[in-house]
Amino acid sequence: MFPKLDPILHSELRLAVMSILAGVESAEFSYIKKQTGATSGNLSVQIDKLSAAGYISVEKGFKGKVPCTTCKITPAGLAAFENYVNSLKEYLI
Amino acid sequence: MENNFENKEMTAQESLGIITEMMNNSRRSILQNSAKHFILWGALLTVMSLLIYELIHVTHDPIWNMLWFAMPLIGFPMAHFIGKSKVALPQNIISKQLHGIWLAYCAFAVVISAVFMFIAPQNLTLVIILAFGFAECVSGITLKNWAIIVGGFILGIGGAIAAIILRSEAQLLLFTLCGVILMITGFIVKSQSK
């Protein structure tokens, strides 16, 4: 019996965002947008979903006069990500 | 970037592909930025050491050694400038450790230089080059690159021995060698991140 994959993470863009954030301290919205190639609107929606799930924390601020959104993976997000990868392994073996 | 992720379901294989691709792409971008800093500081060290060597060689006045203190004053603004980009790069564990190692080295080098030059004269080149080799060696361990580890070890130990043997003017050329090694490290990091 295969384990059920976390529906929050089992989506291309959300998984891409989590994969980026798992390897860095924190990342700005513009960096994640560049790495994923996603549109601002779609990325915002997915980031909100990850944030609502408690997987990432989002900090909105300013860099000079320009608005700046910084995302950071939470311990719960990291645990969920590790769990997701472990579940994937069972599918692939 | 040609990726354009939709919000759709995927197979386990596709999931793993996305994770690998995103992590590798992000790691590459961050390491390429670190490589730029190695090359910048290496080039600056090479130029400064050759300049000071030439000035002392021509004037026979060791006062030109004071120019070393200008290096951080020139280097840090330049590093800040090349680190600037439209999209701010995040830090990962490797870039953070490399930054910490070389910042600590810089602080040690500046303080020990000031102490040896103004308070208690000692063989400064020996200490600085040994610390340089150590920092290079630890950078190699962080980057998991044997060429950098061995290069740092040989440079540290060999440079310290050479600092005892060589006269003070010729010792400056050891720093030229350090600069070249830093640039080579930068090119290795750059090729690793491709």
Is A24–B3 a contact, with Cβ atoms under 8 angstroms apart?
no
The DSSP code for A3 is P
Q: Which residues of B touch A23 (CB under 8 A)?
A: 23, 26-27, 92
Chain B residue at shortest CA distance from A46: B7
Q: How far is CA A40 from CA A59, B29, B63, B188, in A?
A: 16, 21, 57, 35
| Residue A42: count of CB within 10 angstroms of its CB | 16
pLDDT tens column, B114-155:
898 888 888 888 999 999 999 999 999 998 889 899 999 999
Predicted confidence band of residue A63 (pLDDT cuts 50, 70, 90): confident
Angle between helices A12-22 and B12-59 (to 10 degrees): 40
Closest CA of chain A from B35, distance in Å: 17
Alpha-carbon distance of A14 to A35, in angstroms, equals 13
Chain A residue at shortest CA distance from B89: A31
Q: What is the ipTM of this complex?
A: 0.87
Residue with tokens 């989002």: A58
Considering only CB atoms, A46 lies closest to which of B3, B7, B92, namely: B7
Angle (nearest 5°) at CA B156 between B151 and B160: 145
Counted residue by residue, chain B has a size of 194
Residue with tokens 């997701």: A84
Predicted confidence band of residue B5 (pLDDT cuts 50, 70, 90): low
For chain A, the C-alpha Rg in angstroms (whole number) is 14
Q: How much is the mean pLDDT over chain B? A: 88
Q: How far is CA B119 from CA A58, B114, B115, B116, B122, in A?
A: 51, 8, 5, 6, 10
Q: Which residues of A touch B85 (CB under 8 A)?
A: none
Query: Which residues in A1-54 belong to E strands, given as ranges?
Result: 27-28
pLDDT tens column, B50-101:
999 999 999 988 889 889 889 889 998 998 888 777 778 888 888 899 999 9
Residue B133 is encoded by which pair of tokens? 């080799």
pLDDT tens column, A1-51:
567 788 899 889 999 999 999 999 999 999 999 999 999 999 999 999 999
The reported pLDDT for the residue numbered B100 is: 94
Average pLDDT value for residue range A49-60: 95
Alpha-carbon distance of B175 to A5, in angstroms, equals 56
Q: Which residues of A touch B26 (CB under 8 A)?
A: 19-20, 23-24, 35
Name A14's Cβ contacts closer than 8 Å, sequence gap at least 6.
A8, A46, A49, A50, B7
The reported pLDDT for the residue numbered B179 is: 94
Angle (nearest 5°) at CA B108 between B105 and B110: 105
Considering only CB atoms, A24 lies closest to which of B1, B3, B92, namely: B92
DSSP H/E element including A69: strand A66-73
Domain boundaries, chain A: 12-84
Please give the class, per CATH, of domain A12-84. mainly alpha
